[in-house]
Structure 1
Amino acid sequence: MKGDCMSKKLCLVLVLVILFNLPVQVFAQQNSSSEEIKVYVNDTRLTFDVPPFFIKGFTMVPVRAAFEALGAKVEWDNYTKTATITRGGTEVRVQPGNRTAMVNNIPHVMEVPAVGIDGRVMVPVRFISEAIGARVDWVNETKTVFVNDITEHKESGNIQNGGRFAADSSHYFHILPDGVLIRENIFSKQKEKISDKIISSVHIVNDWIYCVGEDKGTGMVFRMRKDGSEKEIVVSKPVISMQIINGWIYYSESTDDSVLYRTKTDGTETYKVVENGDFSGKNWLVLNGWIYYINTKDQTVSSVRIDGSNRKNLTGRIRDLSSNEKIVGLELIDRDYLYISVHKDITDANGKKIAPGLYRVPAAGGEFYRITDKAPISVNTNGEWLYLAVENFENSYRLIRCKKDGSEVFTINEYKKDDIPGSIYVHGGLVFYTVVRGRETPEELLFCMDSYGGNIQQYTWIYGKDYYAVKSLLTDVYTTYRGLNSFQTVQTSSVENSNGKSSIMHESTLNRGRSLLYRKTAIDGQSYIETWLDHENLYTKKNSETQWDIARVSKQEAADMLKTIFDYIQPTNELCNNLTIDETEDSYTLKGEGTFPEFIGNVAKYLDLDENIEIDRVELNIRINRRRKYIEEMNLTARCSSNTGENDEIKQFTNSYRFINSQFNAAYLKLPNSVSQTLIAKEKADRNTESGISRFVEGKYEEAIRFFDTAIALYNKSPNAYLYKGKSLYNLKKYEEAILVFNRYHEINQQDTEVFALIGLCYFNMGDLLKAEEMGKETLKHRQSINAYNLLGSIAHAKEEYKAAEEYFNMAVLLDGNNYTSRMNQVSTLYSMGNYSKCIRAIDEALKYFPRDRDLLYIKAQCLSLRGRHEQAIEVYESILAGNPSNDFVTMTHIAKEYEILQNYQKAKEYADRAEAVYPDYSLLKYLLDSLDYNLSATAGRKLVDFITENYLYYKENEETDRNFESIIEKGSDYTLEDVRKLADAINSNVEDSVILLSGYEYEQFFNSENGSSIITRQDENHVYVTVKNLYPGTGVQFAEFIQSIENPGNKVLIIDLRNTGRGLSEEAAIILDALLSECTPGYIIDRDGYVRTYTSGKWHTSFHKIGILVNGNTAGSAEFLALGLKTFAENVTIIGSETAGRGVGQVIYNDRSKHFAVLLVNHYWNVLKDNIEGKGIEADIKVDGSDQEYTKAVSEFISR
């Protein structure tokens, strides 16, 4: 017994030791990492007084703080040391130190037990969360736990349809087309106005309404109580779209909808969540801790956690997502799937085509599964069903219902013909849908039906307290007003606009029977303007003037002038809903406040407002004679805002307007005598103006001006007299006088803003390019103008900003392809740019309008010649010569020159002789005749020998060379290619590769083929690659034309490959330098006689983000000149490779077209900034010794810097 007792005592001690030591043992296994563990519960990050930690890889959190955030009830029984977590129908009990948890009284073994630390019970977050029905995710990269209730956001579909409908248990909430927010009692159907200027995204959150509304012309997030009280701004940014989930507002800004933010529903704690997405309206979703969006950077559908971490691409790359056009839209989401609309054929990264339709993709990522082949105009969901508005055929639509997998498709509504479907909203068993009806005056209508398409009802928006009484009264008032023959109105206004604050008074008298109107307008009680309208004749003048401005208006314009603000006091729904009625013994008073967008839109022209002013609130008060139904007085107060304040700040102010009517059917009007006197003076002035224009057309500008001066003396408001006088002075090159006259013309005819371009042309010819540009742009502020585009293009051309000039001239041609000046400017600019191929295409287009124009044909022929297409150039010159075959010595000379280049000397001499017979002193012809005399008299052998002796840089007489020369000369034109090869070898004995013979395939490829190209090009989104094989004739133009075709070169990297490029002309390298360098002198050449010739680069060039040049030991001669010129004068140039050959010389070419060979001969030294690299070579910035793979690696390193 004693032994048993001792055993029992020992066991008891061991158990106590285990129990007391268990927390210490468990605690000892905590992760020692100091990195903070973050915990998000239903999208909100929790803070704890005892921080979470790891035990055996499991996250432990304080039980009360963590699970009360999930809505659970947490209790502690100190007697049993038990924590009880209750939520819904689930109860979980845990005890510190005990791995067994009781879940609804069923034991479950946890991986680690709860522990007690600092008076807090720490429990494994995953076990407890999942036991009470939540999902737990761990993101190791950020050491974050996400705990979320897995829910379906039933209102998400309504929000994706614009959020202009929402509901709670007792009310529907509607945003009307005019921005009024209406609350409708579900049971009584009674409607009441809640707020104005609401745009979209209505959310009902507890006792609050959240929405995007307008403040000072900008969309912002508002909240208000459900009765419209306590309205306040929550997000004061320019919001374009918004969703609310789990107490957080997710939103994007209209200034940059590529970024998504989130903030708490009270507007605190704002964070940027994710960038590079399409977060425009109705194209992104939030659910269960994830954001789903179109990733514009990766061109995929992606998801990211609400803290911006753990981004995933849910689909492969979709190539067409780079388009600005909305092709793919995220429409809906449920627990398992995203529902995506595809509106045009798209292609995934594997080349698979995805046709238009509605698709679903697993929320975790996967393949597109097509639900329907109809891309929906709008779509919503309710439970297991989808509701879609789809097109049957053109202008015909239907609303269908189908299961989410695309099965069980039913048509539940056919839209009326020409109705355009809008949004679809669902609530309970009802479907609400909008349509836009009417072409001339489109109107948005709302309908409601059950989920099977039955019991369709159209909504009517009657919510005003006195709606029917106001409607009856306004009907009588409007009828009475339309019956008035005459009346007088005095309007006094206190108005603030861009001109400051002012007091304006309009006194108007109207006689409808005689179509006669008189108006007198005074500003701040100073000078005034008088206006008379007599049918379609309009007369205006200032009080300081004696003669009237005279204009003829259309019938419609006259009818509009006879209207007053009272034409719009009609029994519209807007006025009837927003006005209340008071009455006295003598009068009715209608009053109300709101935004009145329809009414204000109609009457804004009577309120003297600037276009950029936004009306935020209007108070309206109308007093009506009770017996006669005349409007006797109206007062309108408008609270306005404008961004005309300093630093683009929103400026607020209040304008007040008062209208008093009198003399109903008793007003008397008669035109004054001064009007008839002005008409007589104008008639005489018009006759003189016509005579002046006739002289102007004949080019008799001085005589024309005398007629115009007489016209102006008779009637000093004669616009054509001023206009043509200004044009006459311009043609006489009296530009300063012309500007003064054009300015006066603008004073009396301010509608013709084309005059600014004419003024600009004067300044341009005076050399004041800055003022000329200002005038051209002023014209374009008001209208598209050929003169303005030609002016601005000419200014850009003068500044050598040819790309800008080309764009301006293209716009001028687009406005009128039949304008010769625009066409010629366009062609001249392309020629100046050296883009001869594009210039030829532009000329061909111009010749469709001007088929035999000599100047256009001349430029085309020169472009063809510069591109080496001499036979085609001759054809063009021949077409010019056909117009004057006997006397056009200039064209004859050019044809002769082209034949000389082709070495058809007999034909060249034929045309040169014809030209000489007409005009022998033509300088180009004289030079050409001397050249032809030599070419026709000398044998081919003599020409070759003369070329070498006159041009070879290293030429020295010696016996072997002389023997070879004599041999070729003796053979005359019968020498062979082998004779030339021997001669080249003999000369090369002095300096290696100083003479190079080209023949066979290489000669035919580069000298006898129009398709031959000395460059190889390729480009991708950010990089441009050009391999220069040689610098033979034409290479520079090919290179320049290619880089000019690149879009946005300033954002791209240019790689020029000059490896193994050792042949060619310095002139071709200079053309490339001119194409890439701004204004500078990149180098000069020195021939053997010491003669120096300089290469210059003009201001205009194509600029790249940076340039990399690939070289090796075989990069020589003119290629080195190109590399060193770019390195010296361009910015951000890097030489990549090994040291170059160090040949600071350039070559010239002897070309024998009949024998099909060419000789490249070293002819000169070249220098860059007085430096010559002969024998030294160019050192690389990034050294590469080895294979193409090494170069590829070096290029990648250079690009990524």
Structure 2
Amino acid sequence: MIRNIYIVFVVVVLMLFHMDVNAQDASKDIRVMVRGDFLTMEDTPCMENGNTLVPMRDIFESLDAYLIWDNKSQSITAFKGKKTIKLKVGSRAASVNGNDFPLDIPVKVIGGRTMVPLRFVAEVLGAQVEWDDEDRIIKIESGKEATGNSSGNILNYGFAAQEGEYTYISVIGKGLYRISKDGQEKEKILGDEVININVIDGWIYFTYPEDHLSKGERGLLYKMTTKGENITKLTAFAVQSVHIIGDWIYYINSEDSKLYKVRIDGKGMESIYDKNPIGSFTVSDGWIYFKEQYDNALYKIRTNGSDKKFLCKGLGLDARIVAEGNWVYYDSYGNIDGVCKVDIDGKEQQQIIFEVVDSYNVDNGYVYYNDSFNNLYKVRSDGGSKVKVGSNIDLDINIACNWIYYKNWDSKDNDGKDYRIKSDSTLKQKVIMDGPFIDLKVNYLSDKPTPNPITLPSHESKKSNLSTREVAREKDAVAYIKTFDENGNPIAFGSGFNIDSTGVIVTNFGILKGAASIKCTLANNLTFDVKYILNYNPVRDIAILQLSDADNLPAAKLGLRLKQNWEKKLLLLAILWNFTTLFQQGISAVLEIY
């Protein structure tokens, strides 16, 4: 008898304990995670009969739907893509594109908030819903939205955009064209040059650049069909950095430098972030990644303006932002030289390029960038496998259909200033709209993975200055330098001097920009190819070159103090390039060694 009473007692205790645990679990607030982070909502979600109700506006807008609330009829109309969803308070039916669907629980007003059934709303908007019973978390993931152009292209002014196997490109002096991947098909769309090109659902969105003939049209946002018809003005003010994701156009308003969005049909224009002016931004998977103009921090915020989160510091004032996959890239010009990346949660930060970058783009796991010499490289997104793609490639680069498009603004060629090079560097072409594209030779200097520190030979000298006669004795070490583009056309010339018997030439950094090849001629009329650039300092305008197959060359004798800090102590006052004649006339260059 006592044993039976004991068993009953244990069972009752266990039942009470289980009931208490369930009560604690039931009292735990339900949390909703959308696109990887918890969603901040106006009110706490609630559960009825196994169905979760959430605040109407929070869930719709976090999934990029456009919402209209009719207070008179107590009804909701939401738009996303080609879907129109209608819900009404108290109704157990919803309408999707005119078709009725039953609801497990009706829309309700609770505490003054309109609450909607979460699972139905998320799934009808194309998202996947998962319930974590242990932690009482509802996880919602949405697929990738269609984009009008890549994040990296818009960073580089968006003068080219890919749609399928075709590229839309704005050509200098010609206008906007649609070309096939092989360049055989060419169709003129618009007679004016444009930027911020986005192509989506049969429409082209664009702005006119700052040098557009009509001042009143510069920077305004327009759209037209892919046939160049029905040109429509979308804004009455200038905009920058136009990103189109799904149904929405995101941009910076040039008047106040604040971040805005508007639907592609022109409805729903609103400010997303108006606290401070925006310096740079990009959009990816429901999040906007941005930096403020006068801050060095990177933040992310939902496309509806909620849930601002800090990711990292270390951005330069003019940092440019690109997003691809689970990483956000930014250049740190003005802070630390190079390109860095941080994961979308801000947990891991890594520098992947360690030199001055003029421009960069990210495509399919590779970072493409221009260095200070106008050389184009690509590296894996982890910073490995650096490969030279081309040279004499200036400033902004756009990528479409495995081609890298760029403009040579300094070209004197009457055929045009637009070029493209294959991302694997196997072919380079001049983009000609009045005839077939012209194949060009891909040629460039050999490259060292990273600049090497230089140890300069030195000789003791009690003098702080060299006399004219002493410099004249070193005339055989003076070099005449000439640079060439890929086609062998001369670009620039200058002078320098040799400091080592194996051919190490000190010269000015500025003359090397855009060079595909370099030749050096010494005073004894020996001419050598430059094998690679050993090191350089753009700020001090100095570079050091390594000659190819050079030995036993005359070298200038440098003072000991120059060896100790050569880039600061050397001041090249004048080395006149026509050295042979001038030395014979008794005129020499002067080197001052501090």
TM-score, structure 2 as length reference: 0.52
The one-letter amino acid of 2:379's match is C
1: CA distance between counterparts of 2:383 and 2:348?
A: 16
Match runs of 1:681-1080 below 5 Å: none
Residues 241, 290 of structure 1: alpha-carbon distance in 2 compared, 3 angstrom cutoff: same
Residues 188, 292 of structure 1: alpha-carbon distance in 2 compared, 3 angstrom cutoff: closer
Residues 293, 447 of structure 1: alpha-carbon distance in 2 compared, 3 angstrom cutoff: same
Equivalent in the alignment of 1:447: 419
Residues 194, 117 of structure 1: alpha-carbon distance in 2 compared, 3 angstrom cutoff: closer
Is the CA contact 1:199–1:211 (under 8 Å) kept in the aligned structure 2?
Answer: yes
**Cα-to-partner distance string for 1:1071-1127 (whole Å, 9 max, x where unaligned):** xxxxxxxxxxxxxxxxxxxxxxxxxxxxxxxxxxxxxxxxxxxxxxxxxxxxxxxxx
Equivalent in the alignment of 1:410: 387
Residues 450, 441 of structure 1: alpha-carbon distance in 2 compared, 3 angstrom cutoff: closer
Equivalent in the alignment of 1:164: 159
Residues 199, 117 of structure 1: alpha-carbon distance in 2 compared, 3 angstrom cutoff: closer
Q: Which of 423, 426, 447 is the matching residue for 2:396?
A: 423
Q: Which runs of 5+ in 2 are unaligned?
A: 1-45, 86-91, 109-114, 132-138, 437-594
Equivalent in the alignment of 2:345: 364
Equivalent in the alignment of 1:563: none
Larger RCO (CA under 8 A, 6+ residues apart): 2
Q: Which of 155, 164, 173 is the matching residue for 2:168?
A: 173
Is the CA contact 2:162–2:401 (under 8 Å) kept in the aligned structure 1?
Answer: no
Does residue 1:381 correspond to 2:371, yes or no? no
How many angstroms does 1:184 deviate by? 2.5
Does residue 1:342 correspond to 2:332, yes or no? yes
Give the SS at the match of 2:370: strand
How many angstroms does 1:124 deviate by? 3.2
Equivalent in the alignment of 1:397: 374
Equivalent in the alignment of 1:229: 229
Residues 184, 454 of structure 1: alpha-carbon distance in 2 compared, 3 angstrom cutoff: same
2: CA distance between counterparts of 1:374 and 1:126?
A: 51
Is the CA contact 2:393–2:406 (under 8 Å) kept in the aligned structure 1?
Answer: no
**Cα-to-partner distance string for 1:517-557 (whole Å, 9 max, x where unaligned):** xxxxxxxxxxxxxxxxxxxxxxxxxxxxxxxxxxxxxxxxx
1: CA distance between counterparts of 2:125 and 2:64?
A: 19
Give the SS at the match of 1:397: coil
Residues 50, 27 of structure 1: alpha-carbon distance in 2 compared, 3 angstrom cutoff: farther
Match runs of 1:212-223 below 5 Å: 212-213=207-208, 215-217=214-216, 218-223=218-223
Equivalent in the alignment of 2:241: 241
Residues 398, 241 of structure 1: alpha-carbon distance in 2 compared, 3 angstrom cutoff: same
Match runs of 1:41-56 below 5 Å: 42-47=63-68
Residues 375, 134 of structure 1: alpha-carbon distance in 2 compared, 3 angstrom cutoff: farther
The one-letter amino acid of 2:419's match is F
Equivalent in the alignment of 1:125: 119
Residues 136, 225 of structure 1: alpha-carbon distance in 2 compared, 3 angstrom cutoff: farther
Deviating more after overlay: 204-213 vs 164-173:
164-173
Equivalent in the alignment of 1:200: 195
**Cα-to-partner distance string for 1:345-403 (whole Å, 9 max, x where unaligned):** x3xxxxxxxx3111001122245311110233222222222222223xxxx33221221
Equivalent in the alignment of 1:40: 61
1: CA distance between counterparts of 2:183 and 2:55?
A: 62
Residues 84, 183 of structure 1: alpha-carbon distance in 2 compared, 3 angstrom cutoff: closer
The one-letter amino acid of 1:169's match is G
Does residue 1:288 correspond to 2:279, yes or no? no
**Cα-to-partner distance string for 1:981-1040 (whole Å, 9 max, x where unaligned):** xxxxxxxxxxxxxxxxxxxxxxxxxxxxxxxxxxxxxxxxxxxxxxxxxxxxxxxxxxxx
Is the CA contact 1:173–1:184 (under 8 Å) kept in the aligned structure 2?
Answer: yes
Equivalent in the alignment of 2:184: 189
**Cα-to-partner distance string for 1:807-853 (whole Å, 9 max, x where unaligned):** xxxxxxxxxxxxxxxxxxxxxxxxxxxxxxxxxxxxxxxxxxxxxxx
Is the CA contact 1:199–1:219 (under 8 Å) kept in the aligned structure 2?
Answer: no
Is the CA contact 1:388–1:401 (under 8 Å) kept in the aligned structure 2?
Answer: yes
Residues 303, 441 of structure 1: alpha-carbon distance in 2 compared, 3 angstrom cutoff: same
How many angstroms does 1:228 deviate by? 1.2
**Cα-to-partner distance string for 1:907-953 (whole Å, 9 max, x where unaligned):** xxxxxxxxxxxxxxxxxxxxxxxxxxxxxxxxxxxxxxxxxxxxxxx
Residues 406, 33 of structure 1: alpha-carbon distance in 2 compared, 3 angstrom cutoff: closer
How many angstroms does 1:408 deviate by? 1.7
How many angstroms does 1:188 deviate by? 6.6
Is the CA contact 2:167–2:400 (under 8 Å) kept in the aligned structure 1?
Answer: no
Give the SS at the match of 2:268: coil
1: CA distance between counterparts of 2:130 and 2:351?
A: 31
Q: Which of 320, 325, 331 is the matching residue for 1:329?
A: 320
The one-letter amino acid of 1:341's match is D
1: CA distance between counterparts of 2:129 and 2:365?
A: 23
Equivalent in the alignment of 1:301: 298
1: CA distance between counterparts of 2:246 and 2:397?
A: 24
Residues 306, 30 of structure 1: alpha-carbon distance in 2 compared, 3 angstrom cutoff: same
Is the CA contact 1:386–1:402 (under 8 Å) kept in the aligned structure 2?
Answer: yes
The one-letter amino acid of 1:295's match is E
2: CA distance between counterparts of 1:246 and 1:441?
A: 40
Greater fraction of residues in helix: 1
Match runs of 1:590-609 below 5 Å: none
1: CA distance between counterparts of 2:266 and 2:207?
A: 14
How many angstroms does 1:337 deviate by? 1.0
Residues 255, 178 of structure 1: alpha-carbon distance in 2 compared, 3 angstrom cutoff: farther
Give the SS at the match of 1:376: coil
Equivalent in the alignment of 1:315: 312
How many angstroms does 1:441 deviate by? 9.3
Is the CA contact 1:175–1:198 (under 8 Å) kept in the aligned structure 2?
Answer: yes
Is the CA contact 1:298–1:317 (under 8 Å) kept in the aligned structure 2?
Answer: no
> Size of the alignment, in residue pairs?
363
Give the SS at the match of 2:60: strand
2: CA distance between counterparts of 1:317 and 1:34?
A: 37
The one-letter amino acid of 1:157's match is G
TM-score, structure 1 as length reference: 0.27
Is the CA contact 2:146–2:246 (under 8 Å) kept in the aligned structure 1?
Answer: no
Q: CA RMSD in A?
A: 4.6
2: CA distance between counterparts of 1:216 and 1:422?
A: 25
The structure whose Rg is larger is 1
1: CA distance between counterparts of 2:130 and 2:285?
A: 11
Is the CA contact 2:198–2:244 (under 8 Å) kept in the aligned structure 1?
Answer: yes
How many angstroms does 1:224 deviate by? 1.0
1: CA distance between counterparts of 2:417 and 2:194?
A: 16
Is the CA contact 2:160–2:400 (under 8 Å) kept in the aligned structure 1?
Answer: no
Residues 34, 159 of structure 1: alpha-carbon distance in 2 compared, 3 angstrom cutoff: closer
Is the CA contact 1:41–1:70 (under 8 Å) kept in the aligned structure 2?
Answer: no
**Cα-to-partner distance string for 1:759-798 (whole Å, 9 max, x where unaligned):** xxxxxxxxxxxxxxxxxxxxxxxxxxxxxxxxxxxxxxxx
The one-letter amino acid of 1:428's match is C
1: CA distance between counterparts of 2:384 and 2:124?
A: 34
The one-letter amino acid of 2:427's match is N
Residues 397, 33 of structure 1: alpha-carbon distance in 2 compared, 3 angstrom cutoff: closer
Is the CA contact 1:126–1:136 (under 8 Å) kept in the aligned structure 2?
Answer: no
Equivalent in the alignment of 1:263: 262
Give the SS at the match of 1:421: coil
How many angstroms does 1:406 deviate by? 0.8
Residues 146, 292 of structure 1: alpha-carbon distance in 2 compared, 3 angstrom cutoff: farther
1: CA distance between counterparts of 2:129 and 2:277?
A: 28
Is the CA contact 1:241–1:279 (under 8 Å) kept in the aligned structure 2?
Answer: no
Is the CA contact 1:152–1:335 (under 8 Å) kept in the aligned structure 2?
Answer: no
How many angstroms does 1:285 deviate by? 0.4
Q: Which runs of 5+ in 1 are unaligned?
A: 1-24, 54-60, 75-80, 86-93, 97-113, 138-144, 347-354, 465-1201
How many angstroms does 1:339 deviate by? 0.5
Residues 367, 180 of structure 1: alpha-carbon distance in 2 compared, 3 angstrom cutoff: same
